[in-house]
Structure 1
Amino acid sequence: MTLYDYSPITERPALEWPDGKRVAFYVGLNIEHFLPDEPSTSIWPLDVKPDALNQGWREYGSRVGIWRTIDILDRHGVRASALVNSMVAEHNPQIIKAGVERDWAWLAHGQTNSILHTGYEPDEERRILTDITTTIETATGKRPKGWMGPALTETHNTPELLGELGYQYVLDWTNDDQPYRLNVPGMLSVPYTLELNDLGLFLRGLSGPDFLQMVKDQYDVLREEGGRVMALALHPFVIGQPFRAKYLNLALEYIAAQSDVWLTTSDEIAAHYLTT
């Protein structure tokens, strides 16, 4: 059995959002912990220890960038869908506290982005997922309902094991503009994005004005179509740089000003879809 069936968007019933809104918009805010001296996301890959260049670049996110990003989200009334590594609870509790105060949605994002979620036997994976889930629930007061693996990684057993733990959806399969049911009882795929993702865009050399225009264009097309999800994927060590944060502020200003947008979270999108 495949994880999901092919379903052309043109052959589905119209999807209605609350209050007749045309687009469900959420920010997927990646809050990650990286292990020192382990290969991970890099601005300039080096095989050295200590890797001060890349570790420092990543840690800018937790020390500075996240706080600048939070200020911008607050300014426009956007609650984050926080994709959180469970190790953040130990290493960056102030970030967890800030998110709890703002009633963020909390999604499990593995243990650390230095370890991909792959290659596990079922019993080992069940133990790891249980530990991740319990750690996040203890830290935030909320049991996570959504999952996105580090670098969007899963095993073939992950969705079923997540279902056993009470999860409702995954973000790993970026193949649609609407939620859809997986062939795992009770589990959905909710749209995420690799395209409108600061990490991929800015590290390919796009500018702040490029980013702003892409956000506007994405929204405008999805609004015209209606019944769509628009995800904006952010990493504080990227978007939290001052010269980029300026354009995040302008982008969210544009989105929040639209009368037909539902500013929401991935949790609320999944819950709405499950009740329609």
Structure 2
Amino acid sequence: MAVYIGLNIEYFHPDFPSTSIWPGTAELKPDALNHGWRDYGTRVGIWRTIDALDRYGVRASALLNSDVAEHFPQIVAAGKERDWAWLAHGQTNSTLHTGYTLDEERRLLEGITHTITAATGRAPHGWMGPGLTETHNTPALLAELGYQYVLDWTNDDQPYPLTVPGMLSVPYSVELNDLLIFGKGFTGAEFVQMVIDQYEQLHRDAPTGGRVLALALHPFVIGQAFRHRYFEQALEFLATAPDVWLTTSDDIAAHYLLGDAALKPPRGA
């Protein structure tokens, strides 16, 4: 079983409504309540999360808004020191990736790709849109720019080829996702149990072809102090579980593209 940590590293404009813990103030300018909650991730939560990843020797798959390179270069520097995989996650999570003409989107994607490549020293191979958004042209435009895969289509436990030649869908999760889990009121202990249950079922499924366990995290959620111990428990479980390849989404895509039988396409793909 392949396991990767999808670490969302996002920039939010102060006066734009976005992911909120309390929607009642989301339209205010300034919205100190919600923006402060989100900003905790890049000021505090990310460093706590990095400490845990380091402790268990885990390389993150960093889903990076390109605006982070300008506003939080210290986070990019920390990821470069740790050889993270870098995926493009749009420009900012204050804006969904939708509503563009073909030429507008091409220019935007070129700019995002250039910014991330310049900041990290590595061209991104993977894409996840802000809020998992795309246009109908996004995969083809990404292929033109040298991308290999997207995470937006969360409809399988295995990678599979898109209809755009050379492009894959790699599994991501909106269920095993801290923002959704804790947003629904589940506890840290329940989060750990969900990770264990996901592993155990996918492990049972794996004899017919390898499976992918994607753990989706946001530093302003999982990085809260009272949740940290549970994140460490989940990492410890995954790092010591049998038959786990603790890797990155880049390596999963490359492994699939090499045609290794350990990660077969599902029947009918």
TM-score relative to the length of structure 1: 0.91
Taking the aligned partners of 1:208 and 1:72, their CA distance within structure 2 comes to 15
Mapped partners of 2:175, 2:240: distance in 1 = 23
Partner of 1:31: 9
Q: Does 1:50 find its partner at 2:33?
A: no
1: distance between equivalents of 2:211 and 2:80? 28
Instruction: Indicate the SS of the match to 1:175.
Output: coil
CA distance, structure 2, for counterparts of residue 242 and residue 216 of structure 1: 22
Return the offset for 1:170. Answer: 0.2
Paired amino acid for 1:230:
L
Is residue 243 from structure 1 mapped to residue 260 from structure 2 by the alignment? no
What is the aligned partner in structure 1 of residue 216 from structure 2?
233
Amino acid of the structure 2 residue aligned with 1:68: R
Tell me the equivalent position of 1:271.
Answer: 254
Residue number in structure 2 paired with 1:183: 163
Residue 93 of structure 1 is aligned with which of 43, 53, 73?
73
- Give the SS at the match of 2:91: coil
Indicate yes or no: 2:74 matched with 1:70: no
State yes or no: 1:215 paired with 2:198.
no
1:54-89: CA deviation from partner (whole Å, max 9, x where unpaired) = 111001000000000000011111100000000000
Shift of 1:224: 1.4
Q: How does 1:65-214 map to 2 (within 5 A)?
A: 65-214=45-194
1:262 matched to 2:245? The reply is yes
Identify the range of structure 1 (44-53 vs 91-100) with the bigger mean alpha-carbon deviation: 44-53
| Structure 1, gaps ≥5 residues long | 1-22
Amino acid of the structure 2 residue aligned with 1:42:
S
For structure 2, the 5+ residue unaligned runs are 260-269
* In 2, Cα distance between equivalents of 1:122 and 1:105: 28
Tell me, in whole angstroms, the C-alpha distance in 1 between the residues paired with 2:180 and 2:196: 18
* Rounded Cα–Cα distance in structure 1 between residues aligned with 2:51 and 2:185: 25
Superposed CA RMSD: 0.5
Residue correspondences, number: 254
Structure 1 segments (4+ residues) deviating >4 Å: none
Q: How many angstroms apart in 2 are the aligned matches of 1:171 and 1:271?
A: 14
Following superposition, the deviation at residue 123 of structure 1 comes to: 0.5
**Percentage of identical aligned residues:** 72
| Structure-2 separation of matches of 1:148 and 1:169 | 9
Structure 2 residue matching 1:272: 3-state secondary structure: helix
Give 1:16's aligned residue.
none
Secondary structure in 1 matching 2:131: helix
Question: 2:266 maps to what in 1?
Answer: none
**Displacement, 1:223?**
1.0
Q: Amino acid of the residue matched to residue 85 of structure 2?
A: A
CA distance in 2, matches of 1:77, 1:223: 22
CA distance in 2, matches of 1:87, 1:138: 12
Given the alignment, which residue of 60, 73, 91 partners 2:40?
Answer: 60
Output the CA distance in 2 between the equivalents of 1:40 and 1:77: 32
In the TM superposition, residue 258 of structure 1 has moved relative to its aligned partner by 1.4
